[in-house]
């Protein structure tokens, strides 16, 4: 516990802002999930057309795109580690010189990326099958969310893109 407090004192303002954005993203996405589960229990409360409208009256689609781009930029700007090379990043993440631990973490990262790509493949396959069978695809649920709760959907999109922005850009490789 004392070591954790000592480590927390070493953090700079950029680290604290990064942690605050990450905490805000987790809270907003958690609240959104709870709201979705509550609304899913009462499907009669939704106010979507069948199929949901593509354009939401009073909101430009550029508003949603701007929210997503802003989330990516904020996620990139306030990404916690400020490092100039992958070696420096490895030294920060794994402060040991044990190559076995580095290999273990690299394998875990690759397995996580593979699982994420398999999940995305599953979603694209599901989307294709639902379109073929004339069932609401995933995109219709997103349109319904944007139609029923526009500002909430844009807020969730911003924070989701913030998390993607934190994850997407890795440090440059050493030259």
pLDDT in tens, 28-40: 888 888 887 777 6
Please give the structure tokens belonging to residue 121. Answer: 């493949």
| pLDDT at position 99 | 62
- Give domain limits for the chain: 2-168
Q: Is residue 170 within 8 Å of 86, Cβ to Cβ?
A: yes
Separation CA 114–CA 11 (nearest Å) = 32
Phi and psi at 132, nearest 5°, equal -70, -35
pTM of the complete model beyond 0.75: no
Give how far Cα 98 sits from Cα of 40, 83, 84, 87, 93, Å.
49, 21, 22, 14, 12
In this model, does residue 101 exceed pLDDT 80?
A: no
Give how far Cα 33 sits from Cα of 55, 64, 86, 108, Å.
24, 19, 34, 27
In this model, does residue 71 exceed pLDDT 60?
A: yes
Write the pLDDT tens digit of every residue in 47-56: 777 777 777 7
In this model, does residue 163 exceed pLDDT 60?
A: yes
What mean pLDDT is predicted for residues 149-154?
Answer: 82
Kindly give, in sequence order, each residue whose CB lies less than 8 Å from that of residue 70, ignoring residues fewer than 6 positions away.
158, 161
In this model, does residue 8 exceed pLDDT 80?
A: no
| pLDDT at position 45 | 58
E runs forming strands in the chain? none
Write the pLDDT tens digit of every residue in 112-147: 889 989 999 998 998 888 888 888 877 777 777 777
| pLDDT at position 104 | 77
| 168 upstream amide cis, omega within 30 of 0 | no
Q: Is residue 139 within 8 Å of 51, Cβ to Cβ?
A: no
Q: Which of 150, 162, 164 is nearest to 24 (CA)?
A: 162
Q: Which of 135, 149, 156 is nearest to 45 (CA)?
A: 149
DSSP-derived letter for residue 43 is G
| pLDDT at position 93 | 60
Q: Supply the mean pLDDT for the chain.
A: 77
What mean pLDDT is predicted for residues 140-158?
Answer: 82
What mean pLDDT is predicted for residues 42-61?
Answer: 71
| pLDDT at position 44 | 60
Separation CA 141–CA 46 (nearest Å) = 11
């Amino acid at each position: 516990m004392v070591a954790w407090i000592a480590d927390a004192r070493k953090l700079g303002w950029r680290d604290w802002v990064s942690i605050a954005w990450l905490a805000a993203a987790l809270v907003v996405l958690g609240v959104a999930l709870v709201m979705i589960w509550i609304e899913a229990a009462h499907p009669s409360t939704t106010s979507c057309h069948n199929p949901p409208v593509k354009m939401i009256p009073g909101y430009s689609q550029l508003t949603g795109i701007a929210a997503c781009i802003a989330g990516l930029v904020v996620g990139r700007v306030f990404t916690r580690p400020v490092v100039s090379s992958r070696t420096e990043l490895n030294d920060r993440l794994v402060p040991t010189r044990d190559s076995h631990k580095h290999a273990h973490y690299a394998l875990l990262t690759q397995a996580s990326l593979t699982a994420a790509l398999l999940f995305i493949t599953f979603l694209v396959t599901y989307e294709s099958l639902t379109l073929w069978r004339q069932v609401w695809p995933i995109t219709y649920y997103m349109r319904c969310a944007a139609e029923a709760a526009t500002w909430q959907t844009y807020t969730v999109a911003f924070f989701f893109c913030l998390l993607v922005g934190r994850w997407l850009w890795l440090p440059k490789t050493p030259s």
